[in-house]
Amino acid sequence: MRDRSSDFSASRVRLPLPGSLRISLCLAAGLICSTLGARPVTLDDLRREPKLTPQRFASYFSEFRYQFFEEVQLPEMFLATELGDCDDYATLAAEILSQRGFRPHLIAVRMPGLVHVVCYVDEIGGYLDYNSRVYLKRTVSCDKDLRSIANKVARSFGAHWTSASEFAFVHRLKHLVSTITHANPSASVSSIPPRSTSDPSLTPLPLR
């Protein structure tokens, strides 16, 4: 996640690769994976999966690696390279799952020096987190309210949260839905030990 709260309604400013070059890179990445015997999952694969659930969706990403990007990647690039970060994953999850009749919510949790994005899904009473893609249980159970989600996300980083926002991602723009702030951020840290941040998948994302 890269945006401050004031950036949600702003147009994205980016210096994209030329369309033909971007497509060529995606195709090249796919060809390399095919040559090695592993075809990367595609948008069509996800859309046509007959028994897609949030847990099933997450299983496709267990081998993906963490890499920070300044902007949310095009889904095709994220899938072809198998490289990305939390909001590449969460925004794609929200897009695909909403098409399959689920009710997802994109949630950004701000902590000192970092922002983390997850995709909460009403039907499972929990959220998809890119940092949980490698575990057997790839969804995180949690109450639906922003405060509960923020507490659980912050706990996984061993941090405290300062604000949490729900937003929509439409036509590659972020639109703020609601925000809460924490009056006493240090009080949100639980005594439950956090997962080790030595795991590359837990690398904090810096603020822009």
Residue 201 clears pLDDT 50, i.e. is over it: no
The answer to whether residue 181 sits within a structural domain is yes
The answer to whether residue 83 sits within a structural domain is yes
The answer to whether residue 207 sits within a structural domain is no
- Three-state DSSP state, 191: coil
Residue 74 contacts by C-beta under 8 Å, 6 or more apart in sequence?
A: 22
Q: Which of 49, 55, 185 lies closest to 109, judged by CA? A: 185
Token digits for 4?
A: 């401050």
Segment 143-154 shows an average pLDDT of: 97
The answer to whether residue 178 sits within a structural domain is yes
How far is Cα 74 from Cα 88, in angstroms, rounded to an integer?
Answer: 8
User: pLDDT at position 6, please?
Assistant: 39
User: pLDDT at position 186, please?
Assistant: 60
The answer to whether residue 208 sits within a structural domain is no
What is the number of structural domains in the chain?
A: 1
Given a contact cutoff of 8 angstroms between Cβ atoms, the answer to whether 173 and 12 are in contact is yes
Q: Which helix (H) or strand (E) holds 20?
A: helix 19-35
User: pLDDT at position 11, please?
Assistant: 33
Decide which of 2 and 153 is more confident: 153
The answer to whether residue 108 sits within a structural domain is yes
Residue pLDDT, tens place only, 20-59: 555 445 444 444 443 334 689 999 999 999 999 999 999 9
Residue 9 clears pLDDT 80, i.e. is over it: no
- Domain range for 142: 5-202
User: pLDDT at position 187, please?
Assistant: 53
Name the residue with tokens 């995180």.
Answer: 140
